[in-house]
Structure 1
Amino acid sequence: MYDSNDNPHLLIYPFNASGHIIPLLDFTHHLLRHGLTITIIISSSNLPLLHPLISSYPSSLHKLLFSDPDPDHHPSPHPLIAKVIATQQMFDPIVRWFQSHPSPPVAIISDFFLGWTNELAAHLGIRRVVFSPAGALGSSIFHMLWRDLPEINALNGDRDESFLLSLPEIPNSPEFPWRQLSPLWRSYKEGEPNFESFRKGVIGNMTAWGIVYNTFEDLEGVYIDHMKKQIGHDRVWAVGPLLPEEDGPVGRGGSSAVPRDRLLMWLDKKPDDSVVYICFGSIERLSEKEMSVLTSALELSNVDFILCVKTSDLKFIPSGFEDRMSGRGLIVKGWAPQLVILRHRAVGSFVTHCGWNSTLEGVAAGVMMLTWPLGADQFANEKLLVDQLGVGKRVCEGRPENVPDSVELTQLLDESLSCDRPERVKIKELSQTGIKAVKEGTSMRDLDMFINQLCEH
């Protein structure tokens, strides 16, 4: 068994995107609470995200600070590929740091985009653990598509956007029209060095010593079991939802564009389950047409709402909308403390892009979800929420050509706050199982097993 007095040292390497960094920092928090020593690789631009943890664990959390790798030196057909490939220039600096450290780490935990750290871990003679910021379903699809990419591409040689791709290898045999597959995957160019390097890393994830998922058995048990079968061992741990208790530390994820106290004061004035929260994550953006339909529906509806809008999208907000909605609607122009909002008693439904962090936060808060996926793994997460778990209702399937009628959207918004909706009953039940999982159930068990197995070596 693991003895916390041994104080083993781990190296943690997140991918430089807030949707990837925040859940890995939440996991880091759990590891620190168990007495481990952590060094985290972080760029200066993301250092503020680390401050809440550093202030809580000044003696056991250390930072390995580097400047952001420059993707411009690694031109690629897709900007994300260039960004991932650029991180490989960290190989030698990490090796030098490791070799000069008086008590170097016994393992590296790195994001699933950073598959090249498998080779780094082998070079250092330590174990590599994959941290997946996607759920087990999204991750299984992601890895299968990259593994079988040439064969799947050959099935749709004409690149027909409506071509239906069936994935019978994965439980429940999910199907996706070609247009719903990630542009990252669809832009693959066979033989292009950076794409092939990225693909090699993704496939390499399946040979890592273990995989940690921010999920729980009652949410994705069948897909967790599937991944265990795919990699051929049981070192797959579901430790989520990895969310702070209560409202979490101030500054988690970044500084709010609206003071937390002001948000809470606004929500405190609203009746229970009377507010719709609308947010599309840290990356996805709505088009002008999509924003027009959304704001029209909000104006026609009877709901109170909080609308989170990126500063770059404010130009799409209709003139006078904010004034007309004064008192009934609150617009957050930039980053919002989403978990604080979702956990408030006044919030009854959540219009979401179905990013995995938002999915988990909505589930944990017990808030019915109105799904509007836009890309990446979001269409898979929508299938999980709507078709398999019955805790969400479809609003829109992607981009402008599929934008709903504003009158239909108005009806969905109004109906989402109805207390007798079956989705609302089911999400409350699922929320309770998630809370139990981390406090005394399967996720607590898996976290303890992970630490024990890692530290035995």
Structure 2
Amino acid sequence: MITATDTHLLNPLISLHPSLLHKLIYNEPEITPSPHHPLIAKVISTQKLFDFIVQWFQSHPSPPVAIVSDFLLGWTSELASRLGIRRVVFSPSGAFSSSIIHTLWQSIDEIKARNHNRDDNFLLALQEIPNLPEFPWRHVPVIMRDYIKGDQDFESFRTGMLANMTSWGIMYNTFENLEGVYIDYMKKYVGHNRVWAVGPLLPEKDDPVAIMKRGGSSGSLLDHLFTWLDEKVDESVVYICFGSQVVLSERQMHALTGSLERSTVGFILCVKESGSSSLPVGFEDRMANRGLVVKDWVPQLAILRHPAVGLFITHCGWNSILEGIASGVMMLTWPMIADQFANAALLVDEMGVGKRACEGGPESVPDVVELAQLMDESLSGNRPERVKIKELKRAATKAVKQGTSTRDLDVFVELISEM
């Protein structure tokens, strides 16, 4: 299923297998505003597609035998049951953050009762999850922190999240060497082995066209950007990007740019047009010989895979983490929302492939001197984090080339083929 406006994204894939892949085009349902988080309203609006899909299914000469749907679309478990077919959850997030999220939703009433004062520093210890993760209440996704027991919208969202654990199977965009212990935990949690790690789902290194197009279409600045990188020493440049949603506050931007000026590193700083006014006056001119400020979409994966890039300051979105790992680039973490705090903990505390730069929303500002020093140190010498990220890169490459992820995907396809 795909919206009419997004069909161009799927067309290249369909053209490769026209007899196997078919589009079901739908119009996006109208979103009824919710007094709560906008994500809740968007997820609830998708439930309006239930009858449309049932009618399409019943009229199709060869209907599907399974539904693969995003983890936010928990209502498709009920849809699959209505149609008499299997539902497989696809989680674009990792197994570690998923185990935390579902444990929290399972126990949210008890947790909120214990933290009735809504203390941001209230410590949560999840002893049932491997490695006993602990984190403060302020790192819990805002939807959970704002959850109101008995509220129709919140209960609908929670029901959908819990329905994921009753689905026939779960597929994660991860790989065994990164999250094997959490894949095994999720198998025990759901009571069966139909939990698969099939990632990292990224273009192959020898597919430059796919890499350049990943995420959007490029602008005219790309020739200049890659020519600039080609002139740099290997692993001497810091790439800084905070994803498609986050805009740094003025204080955060001034601290970040101040640390760049104080450091000695070369850099590429991605800034949204909506946040470019926060750049200090004259910063781009002063740094013209050492860095680039980019205010347009850039092919992140291609940049990370360039030999000149040796460090990635990231908000810790899961796709960005996988791209950093697959490129073998050490990361400095700056998580701000949602699952990013768990992802940062996985990188820094468990895998040892990153260091903490900062954490939190607009009110959290890094120390200029400390961040400058951290960037300089991270690009100098044979740091253990840089050694470990190279090892993890090799494991990620092996996983999708006749390794554990290929094996899991083959098992999934075989089971579906038998239906």
Distance in 2 separating the partners of 1:90 and 1:261: 43
How large is the RMSD of aligned CA atoms in angstroms? 1.5
Q: Which runs of 5+ in 1 are unaligned?
A: 1-40
For residues 74-108 of structure 1, give each alpha carbon's deviation from its aligned partner in whole angstroms, at most 9, with x where no partner exists.
52411110010000011111112222222221111
Distance in 1 separating the partners of 2:371 and 2:268: 16
Q: Which residue of 2 aligns with 1:53?
A: 13
**2:233 aligned residue (271, 293, 296):** 271
Distance in 1 separating the partners of 2:365 and 2:381: 27
Q: Does 1:69 align with 2:29?
A: yes
**TM-score between both structures, scaled by the size of structure 2:** 0.96
Q: Which residue of 1 aligns with 2:117?
A: 158
What is the deviation of 1:51?
4.1
Q: Is the 8 A contact 2:337 2:361 kept in 1?
A: no
**Counterpart amino acid of 1:64?**
L
Listed as ranges, the matches of 1:222-261 within 5 Å are 222-246=181-205, 247=208, 249=210, 250-257=212-219, 259-261=221-223
Q: Which residue of 2 aligns with 1:14?
A: none
Q: Which residue of 1 aligns with 2:72?
A: 113
Q: Is the 8 A contact 1:371 1:395 kept in 2?
A: yes
Q: Which residue of 2 aligns with 1:312?
A: 274
Distance in 2 separating the partners of 1:327 and 1:48: 39
Q: Does 1:422 align with 2:381?
A: no
Q: Is the 8 A contact 1:52 1:251 kept in 2?
A: no
- SS at the partner of 1:206? helix
- SS at the partner of 2:280? coil
For residues 279-304 of structure 1, give each alpha carbon's deviation from its aligned partner in whole angstroms, at most 9, with x where no partner exists.
11112221111111011111221111
Q: Which residue of 2 aligns with 1:336?
A: 298
Q: Which residue of 1 aligns with 2:134?
A: 175
Distance in 2 separating the partners of 1:117 and 1:176: 31
Q: Does 1:92 align with 2:54?
A: no
Q: Which residue of 2 aligns with 1:206?
A: 165
- SS at the partner of 2:215? coil
For residues 405-446 of structure 1, give each alpha carbon's deviation from its aligned partner in whole angstroms, at most 9, with x where no partner exists.
111111111111113111000100111011111102111111
Distance in 1 separating the partners of 2:18 and 2:245: 31
- Between the two proteins, the alignment pairs up a number of residues equal to 416
For residues 180-225 of structure 1, give each alpha carbon's deviation from its aligned partner in whole angstroms, at most 9, with x where no partner exists.
1111111111111111011111111001010000111110111001
Distance in 2 separating the partners of 1:176 and 1:395: 17
**1:142 aligned residue (101, 115, 120):** 101
Distance in 2 separating the partners of 1:56 and 1:376: 36
The ranges of structure 1 where at least 4 consecutive aligned residues each deviate by more than 6 angstroms after the TM superposition are none
Distance in 2 separating the partners of 1:312 and 1:397: 22
Please, which moves more after superposition, 236-245 or 47-56? 47-56
**TM-score between both structures, scaled by the size of structure 1:** 0.88
Q: Does 1:376 align with 2:338?
A: yes
What is the deviation of 1:381?
0.8
Q: Does 1:440 align with 2:399?
A: no
**Counterpart amino acid of 2:27?**
S
- Are residues 176 and 45 of structure 1, via their aligned partners in 2, closer, same or farther at CA, if it must alter by over 3 Å? farther
What is the deviation of 1:257?
4.5
- SS at the partner of 1:69? coil
Q: Does 1:283 align with 2:283?
A: no
What is the deviation of 1:168?
0.7
Distance in 1 separating the partners of 2:278 and 2:14: 39
- SS at the partner of 2:128? coil
Q: Which residue of 2 aligns with 1:32?
A: none
Q: Which residue of 2 aligns with 1:16?
A: none
